Amino acid sequence: MNGVELSLAGCRLIALGTGALHWPDRQMLIVSDLHLGKSERIARRGGMMLPPYETRDTLTRLEADIAATGAQSVICLGDSFDDRSAAESLSEDERLWIKRLQAGRRWVWIEGNHDPGPLDFGGTHLAELPLAPLVLRHIARPGASGEISGHYHPKVQLPTRGRVISRPAFLFDTSRLIMPSYGTYTGGLRADDPAFARLLAADAHAVLMGPAPQRIPLCLSGGL
């Protein structure tokens, strides 16, 4: 299991290369912005026709991360579904898959801006989840401390062999951690966007997702 260990409010966390966050002491796996059903939502609104496999791909990776970490609790930090209709349009096989993942463990759906209310998928539905000394919510709040959030889908631009590539990433400082999107069909916000400068300290770091996750310093005023 590839990951980078970090500390937030004295809690040992592991940022996995898949985009999930492991909290070993609580046997907990945290994921954000699954956006299940996104291909259906895009097609319904007249957008491009994407292969409708992203839900299955996301659930396959989530199942693997649960197995690898032995997680007894799974926290989904909002925007788990691309909208209410997308959630209702999941196939029966996909709904049963989610129920199998939930069986025998605590499962919490945190409300996001795409899924602001409870949906019929089992588990517990909360606006946010305080787990002292941390708090888990969908959108970061200025001035918060010990906060884990999602929403922004952060990505870091990296110059590589004469071109620039984009890597999804965890962003964090001593007060907060912002999760990358876990969903298969999701874009992202560049880490040098002013939104992150308003939330993170100047000495913030990133953990780049991928088979060999890497921790790097983050320059919030315009790239690395």
Q: Cα separation of 36 and 185, whole Å?
A: 9
Q: Cα separation of 218 and 20, whole Å?
A: 20
Pick the range with the lowest mean pLDDT from 133-137, 139-143, 187-191: 187-191
Q: Beta-strand (E) ranges in the chain?
A: 3-8, 11-16, 21-23, 28-31, 73-76, 106-110, 124-126, 129-131, 134-136, 147-149, 154-160, 163-172, 176-178, 189-190, 205-208, 214-217
Please report the domains of the chain, with CATH numbers, ordered by start residue.
3-217 (3.60.21)
Q: For residue 91, what pLDDT band results from cuts at 50, 70 and 90?
A: confident
Is 91 or 197 the better-scoring residue by pLDDT?
197
Compute φ and ψ for 40, nearest 5 degrees: -65, -40
* C-alpha closest to that of 119 among 152, 86, 72: 86
Residue type, 55: T
Kindly state the DSSP code that residue 81 receives in the 8-state scheme: B
Q: Let me know the angle formed at the C-alpha of 81 by 176 and 166, rounded to the nearest 5 degrees.
A: 55
State residue 130's pLDDT score. 98
* C-alpha closest to that of 81 among 51, 107, 110: 110
Q: Cα separation of 224 and 218, whole Å?
A: 6
pLDDT tens digits, one per residue of 17-51? 999 999 999 999 999 999 887 555 555 555 555 55
State residue 159's pLDDT score. 77
pLDDT tens digits, one per residue of 156-178? 988 777 787 889 999 999 999 99
| Residue 177 vs residues 54, 59, 63, 92: alpha-carbon distances, Å | 26, 23, 23, 35
State residue 158's pLDDT score. 84
- What average pLDDT score do residues 79-104 get? 85
SS3 19: coil
SS3 24: helix
- Contact assessment for residue 173 and residue 201, using Cβ atoms and an 8 Å cutoff: yes
Residue 222 has pLDDT above 70, yes or no: no
- What average pLDDT score do residues 190-199 get? 93
* Alpha carbon 209 to its chain's center: 11
* Alpha carbon 91 to its chain's center: 23
Q: Cα separation of 87 and 217, whole Å?
A: 37
pLDDT tens digits, one per residue of 59-86? 999 999 999 999 999 999 999 886 676 6
Q: Tokens 């953990």 correspond to what residue?
A: 207
